[in-house]
Amino acid sequence: MTIVVEKPIAENPVPFAESEPERPDSMHVRVEELRRLRAEVHAGPGARATEAQHARGKRTARERIELLLDEGSFTELEPLRRHRATGFGLEHRRPHTDGVITGWGTVDSRQVFVYAHDFRIFGGALGESHAAKIHKLMDLAEASGAPLVSLCDGAGARIQEGVTALAGYGGIFSRNARASGVIPQISVILGPCAGGAAYSPALTDFTFMVRGVAQMFITGPDVVRAVTGEQVSMDELGGADVHASVSGVAAFAYDDEANCLEDVRYLLSYLPSNNRQAPPALPCDDPADRRTDRLADLVPADPARGYDVREVVEEIVDHGEYFEVHPTWAGNIVCALSRIDGQVVGIVANQPIVGAGALDIKASEKAARFVSLCDAFNIPLVTMLDVPGFLPGVAQEHNGIIRHGAKLLYAYCNATVPRIQLILRKAYGGAYIVMDSRSVGADLSFAWPTNEVAVMGAEGAANVIFRRQIAAADEPAAMREQMVKEYRAELMHPYYAAERGLVDDVIEPGETRAVLARSLAMLRTKHQALPQRKHGITPL
């Protein structure tokens, strides 16, 4: 068979650039044009806008992303996107990015998706194209199984685009809800976040705020003044400290953006990338069987004396390191992420130095949310009890302590992760049950020799049970004291619950870390399935 070559191939072909002059539409020219365009997009709307942003004490969107992600890891998505609006003056202003930077990168070499509002462009206000970029990013984050971080600094919906802007928010909210419990979602408020924009942070797992620059509210001070007559500043209405200490909307508040974003990175080190993975374990040189004898001095035997439960946590966990969630809200309960023997754990502990550690509405909500989050992301729970009961009072009852307390009970009852209860001292009444007792599904329960588990304290119980005898006695005070001793000896001694199998063992405080480490290691392969259902009905 003969092969005919119509045109011979040169042995040493001449490169294109040498064979003919470069044409205006050549690839090289187009590449240079692209590079110039990229540089313009990266620079943003101009030096004056950047200076104005810095003058407000705020970084630009790209500067914030650089702080959050590993150096050089960011890949931008749709940097050339522009809005399609053609009226109300927008037809003459069509900047690239449309006011939001979207993309992905890494934090400690783990993939993370991020979007950041660019306040220099339309005040970061959300329009149709702006929202479409966020929608695409959220879909990619969910499909890839990686955390999503939103850096919020926007003026709400773009008025010039009308209902399409509102529909854009709806798309964000629906995706927040769909991704809930699937991937970690973190909101960082670094500027205004008003109106509908505030609902997305409320739907995410954690909200960070920076003092002085961040405000979050549904209606601003002008509307509040017009409707109610109340005079209030933006910070007083929805500043970082208000939401971190009063409303509980924000989990963390910081003085500057750098420390805030550094702690976002730190939080991610405790969370898995998605609900199908275990939390990231770390090598640990703090011995799992390390003695914790100092605990015997930290916690007084007298149930009426206070102490800081954070010191107990520090003594037990790896190198005393933990990350407290909502540290300034509902201080009568402590919720924290930490590690024991290198493995991530969620810790819920009553705080005796705040309200004697009693549970109230805020504490119940705080702990319920934390328990639910840990369960969603496969984080084992260690619950430390020193609780006198639920806080009594007309305000608590009228504001729904029954319903709110049931949220915590519901969260524990539905949690399928490993669960260990540790009774440090007293555990009275319904609060004992709600704080992850064996009867609601704790896998293991341990107690120190100072534990008192009962329906109520000995004094209150004696006054109810022996009231007739006390009233009829010649010396009521002496009779009451005798009855209290008898009740405590019969029903509140430290081994009563253990004798009935409601506590697995009474342990020395010095053994606590070792016992918890061994128990968590045993439970690591735990599998528990809930009944098949669409979803339960949370007592909201």
525 token code pair: 């392969």
Considering just the CA atoms, what is the radius of gyration of the chain in Å? 30
**What superfamily does domain 294-451+494-523 belong to in CATH?**
2-enoyl-CoA Hydratase; Chain A, domain 1 (3.90.226.10)
Note the pLDDT tens digit of each residue in 473-484: 777 787 777 777
Residues 118, 152 contacting (CB under 8 angstroms) = no
Measured CA to CA, the distance from residue 279 to residue 231 in angstroms comes to: 46
- Residue 9 confidence (pLDDT): 47
What's the confidence (pLDDT) of residue 16? Answer: 47
Q: Is-contact 523 443, C-beta < 8 A?
A: yes
Q: State the Cα–Cα distance between residues 126 and 152, nearest whole angstrom.
A: 11
Q: Which two tokens stand for residue 35?
A: 């590079």
**Secondary structure element (H or E) that encloses residue 245, with its range:** none
In this prediction, residue 47 carries a pLDDT of 87
Compute the 3-state secondary structure of the chain and give helix, strand, coil in percent, each to the nearest 5.
45, 20, 40
What class has domain 47-270? alpha beta
Residue (of 415, 435, 343, 434) closest to 375 by Cα position: 415
Residues belonging to the active site: 195-196, 430-431
From residue 367, alpha-carbon distances to 44, 242, 364 in Å are 43, 19, 5
The CB density around residue 164, as the number of other CB atoms within 10 Å, is 18
**Is 204:186 a contact under the CB 8 Å cutoff?**
yes
Alpha carbon distances (Å) from 508 to 152, 238, 453, 454: 48, 47, 17, 21
Contacts of 22 (CB under 8 A, 6+ apart): 28, 29
Structure tokens at 200: 């997305």
pLDDT of residue 454: 79
Task: Name the burial class of residue 328, with classes exposed (0-12), middle (13-18) and buried (19+) by CB atoms within 10 angstroms of its CB.
Answer: middle
User: Residue 536 carries which side chain, given as an amino acid letter?
Assistant: G
Dihedral (Cα; 481, 483, 488, 491), 10-degree rounding: -170
Give the chain's residues under pLDDT 70: 1-24, 85-92, 455-464, 491-492
CA 133 to chain centre: 24
∠ CA(373), CA(376), CA(380), 5° rounding?
80
Report the distance separating Cα 467 and Cα 362, nearest Å.
35
The enclosing H or E element of 241 equals helix 240-242
pLDDT score recorded for residue 497: 85
pLDDT given at position 392: 93
For 135, other C-beta atoms within 10 Å of its C-beta total: 16
Three-state DSSP class for residue 8: coil
Checking 482-487 for CB contacts under 8 A at 24+ apart, the result is: 484/458, 484/459, 485/458, 486/462, 487/458, 487/461, 487/462
> How far does Cα 131 stand from its chain's mean position?
24
Cβ atoms of residues 165 and 131 within 8 Å: yes
Domain with CATH 3.90.226.10 in the chain: 47-270, 294-451+494-523
- Phi, psi (rounded to 5 degrees) for 25: -105, 25
